[in-house]
Amino acid sequence: MTPALDIDAISAGYGEAVVLRDIALSVAPGEILAVLGKNGTGKSTLLKSIMGYLPKLAGRIAIGGADVTREAPHRIARRGVAYVAQEKSLFQDLSVEENIRLALASDRNWPKARAAVERSFPFLLERIRQRAGTLSGGEQKMLLMARSLAADPKLLLVDEITEGLQPSVIERLGGVLRAERGRSATGILLVEQHIPFALAVADRFVVMDRGEIVDSGSAGAPGAAAEIARHLSL
């Protein structure tokens, strides 16, 4: 099966500063891969380089089998890649519906997108005309996730969605991601620091340290949480 994402020996960074070194990983359609690591180890940089925001110094990135290593971000997005960034990227003055419609390639996709929102976060349909900026922090994170899933992406990149959220919202996001894994072919790369959340929703994990992958395994393996916690505390 062609991977949703295939990264082969990527090195990348900011100008002279090399942050990622020789990264290799792949995500199958319908699979969730968690990327864990301490602050500043290059997890967000990895997502930015997949989105084409950073030039690559070496290596190759393929999305759905197509080489996108040197492609511009808008072309990568058009291949069906959605990115839930750490910074909230909602249009605060636009309504919930307008924010979701902006992620769609065509208005014709709205009925399908609406059904996806109903499946994932139905409360958003009751707030469909509300300005995004007037939702709470947790609700805005849910809207970000709903907007990405509504576009039915081939690949979804999620950067620390649980940061600053209360346990019930984290639980709800986890439920949505688990359901997504069961029903769609979207490959998901989930950058996280929240180990229990990551292991509950992912199939596999990798651990990054100082720009390199230093460990990997199956999320369901006994001892995975302790093994990851050791890396994060070193």
In the complex, the residues that contact ligand ATP under the rule CB under 6 A are 14, 17, 19, 37, 39-45
At closest approach, how far in Å is the CB of 43 from ligand ATP? Answer: 4
At closest approach, how far in Å is the CB of 50 from ligand ATP? Answer: 12
> Across-strand partners of 6?
26, 62
Question: Which residue's CB is nearer to ligand ATP, number 45 or number 162?
Answer: 45
Question: Which residue's CB is nearer to ligand ATP, number 116 or number 198?
Answer: 198
DSSP element (H, E) containing 191: strand 187-192
Question: Which residue's CB is nearer to ligand ATP, number 38 or number 119?
Answer: 38
At closest approach, how far in Å is the CB of 157 from ligand ATP? Answer: 12
DSSP type of residue 47 = H
Question: Which residue's CB is nearer to ligand ATP, number 21 or number 101?
Answer: 21
At closest approach, how far in Å is the CB of 163 from ligand ATP? Answer: 9
In this structure, are residues 154 and 65 in contact, taking their beta carbons and an 8 Å threshold?
Answer: no
Query: Which residues lie below 8 Å from residue 199, measured CB to CB, with a gap of 6+?
Result: 34, 205, 219, 220, 224, 225, 228
At closest approach, how far in Å is the CB of 52 from ligand ATP? Answer: 15
CA distance 55 to 42: 15
> Residue 143 is encoded by which pair of tokens?
């809207």
Pairing of strands 187-192, 204-209: unpaired
